[in-house]
Structure 1
Amino acid sequence: MATRHVYLVRHGAADPFGELTDVGQRQSELVGQRLAGLPIDAVWHSPLPRAVRSAQIVGTYLPNAAVREAAELVDHIPHVPDNAPPAWAAFFDGYGAEEAAEAERLADALTGRFARPAETETHEVLITHAYPVAWLVRHALDAPPMRWLGLNCGNTALTAIEYRDGTAPTMLLYNDMGHLPADLRWTGFRTGVWP
């Protein structure tokens, strides 16, 4: 039975304009070094610059892997609830029916492409953003749609999920930053109660 091994990586730390900082470049190098021992077939990345650059850096450590864009990995809100919990109401302020439908379409495209078994054994790195990582984790755990909220993924943290025919996905790692020294471990989200 073929297994799809998916290694989810949030891009490295970026500046307010979406470009990798020096810290983000170093984080990307370190996760690339960590992945170098695996038989990676492909590195897929979001079309946004911070993910593109992270993928290019990671790709230098994976010379046998093709590095390609996947539009499904773009940063987006994967689910807009009909009635957001009070603590999250401000986060979803301004999202109407059209935005909610687009969020659902993008989330379905993401899971439809990557959250399923492959025809042959494959190892893929997906370099994306915090929200798509949270959505794929929520999906793998078969949790309700709202459960993607609050899954704050660190920059270049590693999450690993396996997909096989006839069985539920297997979550191997979530938000693992063991390849990063303490001063490079950061989620980009403020601590404490959020939003």
Structure 2
Amino acid sequence: MPTRHVYAIRHGAANAFGELTGVGERQSDLTGRRLAALPVDMVWHSPLPRARACARLLAVHLPGVPVREAPELVDHIPYIPSDAPRAWAGFFDGYGDDEAAEARRRADALTARFARPAETETHEVLVTHAYPIAWLLRHALDAPPVRWLGLDSGNAALTALQYRDHVPPTLVVYNDMGHLPPDLCWTGFAAGPRP
């Protein structure tokens, strides 16, 4: 049975203008080195500059692998709950029915394109953002839609999922930063103690 291997990567650390920082460039390079051991068929990236730059840097270690833009990977809120959890109420303040419908449309497009089996064995890298990764993880675990909240991803962290016909998706690893030295880990999170 063919397996679709999806390696979702949050782009490297970026500045307020959405451009990779020196740290983000180093993270992207190290991520590419890690992925070089895999039989990668395709690298897809979000249209945003930080994801595009990360994809190009990691692809240096994947010679001959096509690198393409996928609009479904753009940074977006995948789901707006009608009754937001108290801790998230301020985050969703001002979102209405139109925004909720657009969030559903984008989330459905993301999963329709990437969260399904393929006809042949494939290994795809998705360079995207924290929210789309959270949505893909929530979807793979068949968790309630609101569960995407709080599923953060570190910059250049690896989440690996597998899709096969007639079986639920498999979560292989989530938020793995083992390819990064300690000084490059945990960027993209709020300040606080880390394991």
TM over 0.5, yes or no? yes
Which residue identity does 2:74 align to in structure 1?
Answer: V
Correspondence 1:38-49 to 2 at 5 A: 38-49=38-49
Contact residue 7 and residue 125 of structure 1 kept, 8 A: yes
Q: Which amino acid aligns with 1:99?
A: E
Deviations 1:20-71 (A, max 9, x none): 0000000000000000010000000000000000000011111131000000
**Equivalent residue, structure 1, for 2:105:** 105
The SS at the match of 1:125 is: strand
Instruction: Classify the secondary structure of the residue corresponding to 2:180.
Output: coil
CA shift digits 1:62-81 (9 cap, x unpaired): 11310000000000000000
SS of equivalent to 1:63: coil
Contact 1:36–1:61 under 8 Å retained in 2: yes
Contact residue 40 and residue 123 of structure 1 kept, 8 A: yes
Amino acid at match of 1:154: G
Specify the alignment match of 1:179 in structure 2: 179
Q: Give the counterpart letter for 2:34 in structure 1.
A: R
Aligned partners of 1:40 and 1:64 also within 8 Å: no
Using the alignment, how far apart are the partners of 1:191 and 1:79 within structure 2? 25
Counterpart position of 1:52: 52
Q: Describe the superposition over 1:78-99 as per-residue Cα deviations: whole angstroms up to 9, x where unpaired.
A: 0000000111000001110000
Identical amino acids, percent of aligned pairs: 71
Instruction: Provide the C-alpha distance between the structure 1 equivalents of 2:45 and 2:67, rounded to a whole number of angstroms.
Output: 8
Q: Mark the runs of 5 or more structure 2 residues left unpaired by the alignment.
A: none
Structure 2 counterpart of 1:63, one-letter code: P
Distance 1:101 1:14 in 2: 29
TM-score normalised by structure 1 residue count: 0.97
C-alpha separation in 1, matches of 2:32 and 2:70: 19
Paired with 1:104 and 1:78, the residues of 2 have a C-alpha distance of 6
Unaligned runs of 5+ in 1: none
Distance 2:175 2:7 in 1: 11
- Give aligned pairs, total: 192
CA contact under 8 A between 1:79 and 1:145: conserved in structure 2? yes
Quote how far apart the aligned CAs of 1:187 are. 3.8
Letter of the 1:55 partner, please give it.
A
Query: Counterpart in 1 of 2:188?
Result: 188
- Structure 1 runs, 4 residues or longer, greater than 3 Å off: none
What is the CA distance between 1:157 and its match in structure 2?
0.2
Could you say which residue in structure 2 is the equivalent of 1:132?
132
Q: How many Å separate the matches in 2 of 1:44 and 1:187?
A: 22
Shift of 1:188: 1.7
